Amino acid sequence: MINKPVKVLCIGGSDSGGGAGIQADLKAVHACGCYGMSVITALTAQNSIGVQGIFPVTAVFVRKQLSSVLEDIGADAVKTGMIWKLGVVGVVAEKIKEYKIKKLVVDPVMVAKGGSVLMEDSTTQALVKKLLPLALVVTPNIPEAEILAKMRIKSVRDMKMAAKVIFSLGLKNVVIKGGHLEKSKKTGSVDILYNGKEYHELHADWINTKNTHGTGCTFASVLAAGLGQGKDVLNAAQFAKIMVTKAIKNSVSLGKGHGTVNMFP
């Protein structure tokens, strides 16, 4: 039994279908041997087909959740996911600074697997201005990177260009996940890590499955857990790539749409 586990706080939306969001975050953190905590920013009515509804949590109550956890338990690393409302971004940034959180992973969740928008435009702007500069690592997928970098991404070369643009927003490390690239089905999945000085390519074989719900949440949460355990950014990202690849291989078919990755085969 672990007497003093590494503590990882996951901030994001609840997925009623259990495949992504806070549910995926906590599974991933637990699979890494860490202790997971949560701050809910929104409730979703969600299943394998898509998102049927979103009920946002007020900024006042998000602040209360953050204070409750961080004042008493603390956190070795923090991961943020879905943030629906503008005011919540400011509250999260405020608490990150107040409690001097250095190991922050921001997954800029903007669009769900089924295409539903999970972040308002004004919230995106606030995220870029207030929260991204506080992050140790930011982990957009290609559609999200296209929004942040304001460019189309069709190749690994484009991914590197976009990573450089996103880094220029005041970031420390950028990981662009390449699973959305059409070429990935032939060449394998490649993620790009850029730290302002050099690029690192994270490779994995392509797994032919539609059961990929929760990959982004899982990747960012495993990355945060790795950082909390003392890994550097590169090793934590490599660890996250390995764990997510295994979770995709062990994915489960649930419902009529996209099944979920599985951290516990």
Sheet holding 35-46, edge to edge: 51-56, 35-46, 7-15, 77-80, 104-106, 137-138, 174-176, 189-194, 199-204
Residues designated catalytic: 177, 212, 214-217
Q: At what angle do helices 233-249 and 21-31 cross, to 10 degrees?
A: 110
**Nearest C-alpha neighbor of 175 from the set 206, 131, 132, 129:** 132
Interatomic CA distance for residues 135 and 51, integer angstroms: 28
